[in-house]
C-alpha cells in the first residue's frame, strides 16, 4: 500500500491549505491566476479580512489582503509573495509536480513548494493564529500576492509600486522571499545583485573561409571572451561558501552566441549575450570595465547594450540600530537562540522594487536544513519545517508590526 499522503501531518489544516495552493497550476508562461485569486479570496473570507484585486494589466491581478492595526496612521507592513512558478520537466519528477504529494518522511513535493507559495501560506496561517487569539498589532498588515515575478515582474511588483493604489497602502517596511539553507541557519537578504543582461556585437571583415583575413569579428570575440572568462575566474576565487558568498561576487556567463551564414563564409558579425549578476559593490565600475574591454577589442566595430531592464543601483536595507524594523526582526532570532545570516541575494526578488522606492525590505524563507531546489526538479519542503516557519512568522509579524 502506498504511503503517499498518509503522513500524520497530511491532515493538518495549514498543510491542507498549503497543498491546495500548490495544486493550482500558476506555471509560466500561462499561469492560472484566476484560480489563485479565487483561492486567496476564500482565505480572506475565512480570516474575515478585506481584500482588493487590482488589474493594471489585463489578466495580471495583484491581490492585497489587509488587517488594520490599532494605529492605522503609522506606516504599514507589507508581506509580499508571488503567485507564479517556473515550468517543469515532468519526467524528471518523483511525483506529479502539481499534485503536492506528501511522502512518508513528510516531504511535500510540488513546484512552488520552496519558491514561494510556502511563504505566502505561512503569512496567512500566522495571521490566522494571531487574529483568532485576539492579538492586536500597532501597524496595519498588508499581504500582497503579485504576478510575473518569475518573468522579471514588469506587470507585477515593478508596476505596482508606481501606482497610487500602492502609495495609499503607506508601506513602511516589507518582507519577501529568500531561500533555504543546508544547515540550521536562517538566511535573510537585505540587498540583491543587479541583473544586467549584456549584448555585445562584434563586426569585422568577411570573406571566404579558406582565407586568413585580418580584423575579423571572431578575433574580437576571442579577445572579449578571454577578458570575461578571466574576470569570472577571479570572482570565483573569492568564494568560500557556495550560497552565502555568491551574492558578494559578480557572475558573468556567456549564455548565447550567434553569427555566420554558412560554414565556408567568415561572418561579418557575431553577437554574444552575457548574463551578468552584478554585486552592489561592483556596480559603480562594472559598466566602465565593459566599455574599456569593448574599446580594446575593436573600437567602433564592437558595440554593447543592456537588454530588458537594467536594474538600477538601489539602497541596501540597513541591518544596524538605525533601522528599528531590523532591530525588531533580529530580536526574534536572538530570543529563539537561532543563528541568522544576512546575505546579498544572488538572484532577484520583488523586494528590490520596494527598496527602489525607498522602502526598507528583508527577504526570508524559513527553511533550515533543506536542500536548495528553487527551479529544480523534485522541489519540496518538509511539513514540519513548513509548520515551524509559521511559528517563526507569528513572532516576526508581531515584532515588526509593533515597532513604535
User: Does 194-307 match 8-178+349-401 at the fold level?
Assistant: no
Distances, alpha carbon 172 to alpha carbons 79, 117, 142, in Å: 11, 24, 11
Q: Percent of the chain beyond pLDDT 70?
A: 100
CA trace torsion 310, 315, 316, 317 (10° rounding): -130
**Is the Cα dihedral 250, 254, 255, 256 positive or negative?**
positive
Question: 105, 151, 84, 109: which is closest to 9 by C-alpha?
Answer: 105
Question: 204, 207, 194, 351: which is closest to 285 by C-alpha?
Answer: 194
**Could you write out the DSSP letters of every residue in 101-144?**
EE-TT-EEE-TTTTTTHHHHHHHHHHHHHHHHTT---SS-EEEE
Residue 15 has pLDDT above 80, yes or no: yes
Cell of 35: 484560480
Residue 3 has pLDDT above 90, yes or no: no
Report the C-alpha gap between 68 and 49 in whole angstroms: 9
pLDDT tens-digit series, residues 278-328: 999 999 999 999 999 999 999 999 999 999 888 999 999 999 999 999 999
What's the chain's average pLDDT? 96
pTM for the model: 0.91
pLDDT tens-digit series, residues 185-211: 999 999 999 999 999 999 999 999 999
Mean per-residue pLDDT for 367-388? 98
For 265-284, give one letter per residue: b (16+ CB within 10 A) or e. ebbbebbbbbebbbbbebbe
Q: Residue 2 — pLDDT band, cuts 50, 70, 90?
A: low
Residue 165 has pLDDT above 50, yes or no: yes
Residue 57 has pLDDT above 90, yes or no: yes
Class level of CATH domain 194-307: alpha beta
Question: 20, 13, 56, 57: which is closest to 38 by C-alpha?
Answer: 20
CA trace torsion 23, 27, 32, 37 (10° rounding): 70
Instruction: Write down the domain spans for the chain.
Output: 8-178+349-401, 194-307
62 near 153, Cβ under 8 Å? no
CATH code of the domain made up of 8-178+349-401: 3.40.630.10
Residue 1 has pLDDT above 60, yes or no: no
Q: Residue 212 — pLDDT band, cuts 50, 70, 90?
A: very high
Mean per-residue pLDDT for 386-393? 98
Mean per-residue pLDDT for 23-52? 98
Give the residue numbers annotated as catalytic, written as ranges.
84, 149
Mean per-residue pLDDT for 106-131? 98
Helices (H), 299-371: 324-336, 351-356
Q: Report how far apart the first and last C-alpha atoms of the chain are (Å, whole number).
A: 56
Residue 126 has pLDDT above 60, yes or no: yes
Amino acid at each position: 500500500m502506498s504511503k503517499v499522503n498518509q503522513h500524520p501531518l497530511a491532515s493538518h489544516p495549514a498543510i491542507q491549505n498549503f497543498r491546495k495552493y500548490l495544486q493550482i497550476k500558476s506555471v509560466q508562461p500561462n499561469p492560472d491566476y484566476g484560480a489563485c485569486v479565487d483561492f486567496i479570496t476564500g482565505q480572506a473570507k475565512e480570516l474575515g479580512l478585506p481584500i482588493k484585486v487590482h488589474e493594471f494589466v489585463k489578466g495580471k491581478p495583484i491581490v492585497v489582503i489587509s488587517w488594520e492595526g490599532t494605529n492605522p496612521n503609522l506606516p504599514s507592513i507589507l508581506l509580499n509573495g508571488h503567485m507564479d512558478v517556473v515550468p517543469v520537466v515532468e519526467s524528471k519528477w518523483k511525483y506529479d509536480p502539481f499534485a503536492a504529494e506528501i511522502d512518508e518522511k513528510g516531504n511535500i513535493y510540488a513546484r512552488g513548494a520552496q519558491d514561494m507559495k510556502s511563504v505566502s501560506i505561512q503569512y496567512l496561517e500566522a495571521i490566522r493564529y494571531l487574529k483568532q487569539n485576539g492579538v492586536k498589532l500597532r501597524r496595519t498588515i498588508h499581504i500582497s500576492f503579485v504576478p510575473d515575478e518569475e518573468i522579471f515582474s514588469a506587470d507585477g511588483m515593478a508596476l505596482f509600486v508606481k501606482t497610487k493604489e500602492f502609495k495609499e497602502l503607506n508601506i513602511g517596511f516589507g518582507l519577501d522571499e529568500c531561500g533555504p539553507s543546508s544547515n540550521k541557519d536562517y538566511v535573510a537578504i537585505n540587498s540583491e545583485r543587479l541583473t544586467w543582461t549584456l549584448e555585445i556585437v562584434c563586426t569585422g571583415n568577411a570573406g571566404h573561409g579558406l582565407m586568413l583575413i585580418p580584423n575579423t569579428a571572431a578575433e574580437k570575440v576571442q579577445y572579449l571572451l578571454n577578458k570575461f572568462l578571466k574576470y569570472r575566474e577571479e570572482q570565483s576565487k573569492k568564494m568560500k561558501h557556495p550560497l552565502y558568498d555568491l551574492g558578494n561576487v559578480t557572475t558573468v556567463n556567456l549564455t548565447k552566441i550567434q553569427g555566420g551564414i554558412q560554414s565556408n563564409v567568415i561572418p561579418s558579425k557575431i553577437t554574444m549575450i552575457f548574463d551578468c549578476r552584478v554585486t552592489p559593490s561592483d556596480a559603480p565600475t562594472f559598466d566602465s570595465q565593459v566599455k574599456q574591454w569593448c574599446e580594446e577589442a575593436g573600437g567602433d566595430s564592437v558595440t554593447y547594450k543592456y537588454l530588458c531592464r537594467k536594474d538600477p543601483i538601489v539602497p541596501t536595507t540597513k541591518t544596524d540600530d538605525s533601522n528599528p524594523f531590523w532591530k525588531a526582526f533580529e530580536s526574534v532570532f536572538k530570543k529563539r537562540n537561532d543563528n541568522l545570516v544576512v546575505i546579498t541575494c544572488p538572484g532577484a526578488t520583488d523586494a528590490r522594487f520596494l527598496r527602489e522606492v525607498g522602502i526598507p525590505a528583508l527577504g526570508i524563507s524559513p527553511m533550515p536544513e533543506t536542500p536548495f531546489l528553487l527551479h529544480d526538479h523534485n522541489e519540496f519542503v518538509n511539513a514540519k519545517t513548513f509548520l515551524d516557519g509559521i511559528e517563526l512568522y507569528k513572532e516576526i509579524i508581531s515584532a515588526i508590526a509593533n515597532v513604535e
